[in-house]
Structure 1
Amino acid sequence: MAETTSEKKINPMLKMGLELGPIVVFFVAYLRLRDQTIEIGGTAYDGFIVATAGFIPLLILTTGILWKLTGKLSKMQVATLVLVIIFGGLSVWLNDERFFKMKPTMIYLLFGGALGVGLLRGQSYLKIVMEEMMPLKEEGWLLLTKRLTAFFIGLAVLNEIIWRTQSTDTWVYFKTFGLTAAVFVFFMTQGKIFQDYALEEETEEG
């Protein structure tokens, strides 16, 4: 699915539903299946693996619908989908939940690493993705990118600590609610950057 330049406008609630729906369905499916073992083709799978197996095609479907309706997918959406297919697929194929639990680590390392490479080149790759949403001066973009790079790497480390030391229940709650809340809180606390480095709209005196 390639990123296109023209984006069609759709209902924001529909867009949010397509983006968050698979995560919610995974969470509900896991809660219902976590104490069950299901035998498929002579192999026993626990509830986590079964919920993961359902999550992958659902995410492919909703991402495809989003692409069809908007005519555009961000690089982050494409990268997330690819990593879900790879790591989720490995978990199901090898019947090993660890691969799917590693997926957020890989995603955040990928995003943080990409932003870091841009910073080493004196550029803000974040600006390329979000410039239309948040018009900022170059200094503001670089500062926000540095903070977001450190934030993504921190989330990657945190995910590793949680899935390696805590129960599957704890990790699922962290994945469903903790990571989403952390990203929301991060941007909410960057208000001073948006205030200090906002581009002033040009006005014509007449």
Structure 2
Amino acid sequence: MKQFIDFIPLLLFFIVFKLEPRELELLGLHWTLGGIFSATAVLIASSLLVYGALFVAQRRLEKSQWLTLAGCLVFGSLTLAFHSETFLKWKAPVVNWLFALAFLGSQFIGKQPLIQRMMGHALSLPEPVWRKLNMAWVLFFIVAGAANLFVAFTFHDIWVDFKVFGSLGMTVLFLIGQGFYIARHIQTPPETPSQGA
């Protein structure tokens, strides 16, 4: 459910981006709906609403949600202020690389790698497996950032499609691979002898 909630602003961004630009009048003001700049405004507004509602409901946001929100606000605001989509094209690579840096840093700082802190309550894995999984996430975020950057500045016509669906597809494939890897190494707690009759 959390992943779907995080996806709402991106989905709204995609829908508004794909609309043919048209002029609307609302409250005596003229607005353009459709295209990159109105989609960016919708991305910022919907991110504030979604993460604001989550913060009110949960009394907190996860660090990844704070980072995503900050990236959206900074790069989205720069896109609107300078009327240049270049800033927004840098959002996904920079956010992915910051996640990679956080996962990499956790290999050396703290008692557990970041992936173990996130999933350790649900899984029991040997310590070397946690470290390999964590490094796999580092590599995934580096590759995802590079792929987003390459597509954004090479294939101008499809970069938004890739940002929404290509990144999602890469993540799903990576999670499936991770699932197979975890299944080979998962440790089951030893059974306690049942009380005899």
- Normalization by structure 1: what TM-score? 0.81
Say which of 87, 95, 107 aligns to 1:107: 95
Q: In the alignment, what sits opposite 1:26? A: 13
Contact 1:139–1:197 (8 Å) recurs in 2: no
CA displacement, residues 84-129 of structure 1 (integer Å, 9 cap, x when unaligned): 1011111011111111111000111001111112224585122112
Aligned amino acid, residue 142 of structure 2: I
| 1:69 to partner: Cα distance | 2.7
Contact 2:124–2:186 (8 Å) recurs in 1: yes
Greater RCO, CA 8 A, separation 6+:
1
RMSD: 2.7
Query: Which aligned pairs between 1:4-19 and structure 2 lie closer than 5 A?
Result: 12=1, 15-19=2-6
Aligned amino acid, residue 138 of structure 1: E
1:203 aligns with 2:195: no
Q: In the alignment, what sits opposite 2:143? A: 154
CA displacement, residues 137-194 of structure 1 (integer Å, 9 cap, x when unaligned): 2111101111111111011111111111111x40110011110111111010123431
- What SS is found at the alignment partner of 2:19? helix
| Paired-residue identity, % | 26
**In structure 2, how many angstroms separate the alpha carbons of the residues matched to 1:54 and 1:191?**
34
Q: In the alignment, what sits opposite 1:191? A: 179
Q: In the alignment, what sits opposite 1:70? A: 58
**In structure 2, how many angstroms separate the alpha carbons of the residues matched to 1:28 and 1:185?**
24
- Normalization by structure 2: what TM-score? 0.85
Q: 1:151 to 1:157 in 2, by over 3 A?
A: same
**In structure 2, how many angstroms separate the alpha carbons of the residues matched to 1:46 and 1:197?**
48
**In structure 1, how many angstroms separate the alpha carbons of the residues matched to 2:12 and 2:19?**
11
What is the number of residues matched between the two proteins? Answer: 190
Q: Whose radius of gyration is greater, 1 or 2?
A: 2
Gaps of 5+ in 1: 1-11
CA displacement, residues 72-95 of structure 1 (integer Å, 9 cap, x when unaligned): 422111111011101111101111
Query: Which aligned pairs between 1:37-48 and structure 2 lie closer than 5 A?
Result: 47-48=35-36
| 1:30 to partner: Cα distance | 0.7
Contact 1:37–1:47 (8 Å) recurs in 2: no
Contact 2:14–2:160 (8 Å) recurs in 1: yes
Contact 2:79–2:86 (8 Å) recurs in 1: yes
